[in-house]
Chains A and B, each alone.
Chain A
């Protein structure tokens, strides 16, 4: 299976100018990634690390002040290599929902409150396909049945559904046209654990049924652990580590990833867990060198001045850290 979407040295900045003060927020700063067809690619990081910005750029749905200043996003659609920047409005509209789909976080704000669920589905389907109401109802009913959602929801209004059911209806809505590439932005955040589990199950079902590619953004490592094939860790606009899920969870190398995983509370012990010292940097004036050096207990002089490159430390395991790099060179020497 080939690559379906790639980002090459992508830089996307928020450039604002108010009262003569120019401000540039470097939300995505030099990210390169390749996502394979049919995989679940998880992007993890704290709020303000640029993960939603990255998603918006990958989805090619951004407006000023967000500007792509460097690099490009390339889709591989049916053997054709399409650069996101070259697509015209019409082509984009044609791709949206049919090929590229997006599952937003707040399901309450997505569904029309004064229309029944089946009418929302009809509005949605009829915008892309020439279908009658009866046809779209039948299509919807079948799809919901396949996903194990009760038929009862079709005649309901959004406010009548429980939060978890609403989120699952939103997922069904976003995927009913069988998109190849599904982006999900914090799809389970703010849901409780039982509902979260139901939503994860459903995302898995949808993804496996048609072998779609799922790009999952969440700060919750537990969700990634249960869904993603590969995880990329983002910190302050940069990719700091990328590897198979199991590798990230069991042998993380970057100090930030290690903190992130060690600070997860679990039901095994109530022993005091340390939180990561400091806080994420502001992206209008990111720290020099490695962006994590101010919070990193292992930081050396080199970390303050020179930016570490993303290197492959083991097959398909990439990390950007001077300390790890040094350890490796000692080991091989």
Chain B
């Protein structure tokens, strides 16, 4: 049997921005050689986590075709996205890959009725003719737990954040996409509504055959929803693999740091140690060695001047000198930095 082509194939993808200061110009890699494959045979939720300024959104924009990559290739259904004509981008690519953004109220004009967006999208992509449209839209809305009657004629401000985000997701589903790129879709929402949106992504994956790239800084929901996860730090993917392994037993000191920083509601898990934060963002981006060297509790001499390779270790890829060999970590003493 032939292996089906992957849905999305990202190879060594980079985005380089230039910062100008007076006459000098400095390069900085918002995304640095990212490689991700999302298979087409089985829909999955691929979580991308990292702190603000880690390049998550730039990566999303490149996948969405909103930003061109500086280096590397991005293939969607075995076609190089850069080479797709602008006409085909409109008729095919944008239909296939749909975005959901952070703030549902910024995604809709406050002066337009919200159902108008759904009808417009359906008409633009010829998903249903005029007579059929209400029935079709109602069907799509039912996938996100709404009905057309509930939202017909209403303005965005009349909806709750959760409802507006559902409508934004329904709008993305109208074109029957294969991939949804959701950039922080729940971070504006309340705890009680958050889970309903995340549960919805799980349902969509199971019942509507849609893969989701779920970008978030919220590790708990990434763990809950994601099948696989990539942890980003200053443009690098430092650890990537099945969510249960990566977050269950994180190897990269940065992932360990992230996991330990989740505020727990159990008193026994209260933090004991203090942590360091980056002072100036561009300092870490332009660091020559490992970008985490300045904050890493397990830092070694080699880390300051050399870029660590990505190695396969315990079923995931990890970009750290501690795991240079594919066997045991280089030193047992520093292998398990205890972060409080």
Contact = CB atoms under 8 A, between A and B. Distances in A.
Nearest to B160: A279
A162 B50 contact: no
A264 B163 contact: no
Nearest to A200: B263
A190 B279 contact: no
Contacts of A221: 191, 265
Interface in B58-95: none
Contacts of A191: 52, 217
B192 A259 contact: yes
A103 B263 CA distance: 20
Contacts of B274: 148, 201
Given A198-B275, A267-B262, A274-B195, A47 B220 contact: no
B125 interface: no
A305 B263 CA distance: 39
B160 A264 contact: no
Interface in A173-202: 190-198, 200-201
B193 A267 contact: no
A213 to B, nearest CB: 21
B142 interface: no
A160 B195 contact: no
A276 interface: yes
A249 B265 contact: yes
A197 B275 contact: yes
Nearest to A167: B277
A226 B271 contact: yes
B245 interface: no
A225 B52 contact: no
A48 B266 CA distance: 27
Contact of A270 (B53, B218, B224): B224
A161 interface: yes
Interface string B266-283: 110011001101111110
Contacts of A197: 261, 263, 271, 275
Given A160-B280, A263-B192, A223 B224 contact: no
Contact of A46 (B187, B192, B257): B192
Interface string B111-137: 000000000000000000000000000
Range of interface residues on B (Cβ < 8 Å): 35 or more
Nearest to A152: B279
Given A156-B280, A270-B223, A275 B193 contact: yes
Interface centre among B198, B224, B282 (most CB of A within 10 A): B224
A261 B192 CA distance: 9
A222 interface: yes
Interface residues of A, number: 51
A150 interface: yes
Contacts of A261: 265
Contact of B247 (A223, A226, A263, A267): A267
Interface string A208-220: 0000000000011
B304 interface: no
Contacts of A279: 160, 162-163, 193
Contacts of B267: 225, 246, 249
Contacts of A192: 50-52, 217
Interface string B184-198: 000100111111101
Given A192-B52, A275-B199, A222 B275 contact: no
Interface string B146-190: 000000000000001111000000000000000000000001001
A194 B247 contact: no
A162 B224 contact: no
Given A48-B160, A162-B280, A279-B163, A267 B220 contact: yes
B263 A225 contact: yes
Nearest to B158: A282
A307 B217 CA distance: 39
B219 interface: yes
Given A160-B281, A160-B282, A272-B202, 19 more contacts: A47-B190, A156-B280, A161-B281, A162-B278, A162-B279, A164-B277, A168-B277, A190-B187, A193-B258, A194-B258, A194-B277, A198-B275, A221-B265, A225-B266, A226-B270, A246-B267, A249-B265, A265-B220, A275-B192
Interface of A: 46-48, 148, 150, 152-153, 156, 160-165, 168, 190-198, 200-201, 219-223, 225-226, 246, 249, 259-261, 263-267, 270, 272-276, 279-280
9 contacts: A47-B161, A148-B274, A193-B218, A193-B258, A194-B258, A197-B275, A201-B271, A221-B265, A270-B224
Interface of B: 50-53, 160-163, 187, 190-196, 198-199, 202, 217-221, 223-224, 243-244, 247-248, 257-259, 261-267, 270-271, 274-275, 277-282
The 8 closest A-B pairs by CB, nearest first: A222-B263, A192-B217, A46-B190, A275-B195, A192-B51, A275-B196, A276-B192, A265-B220
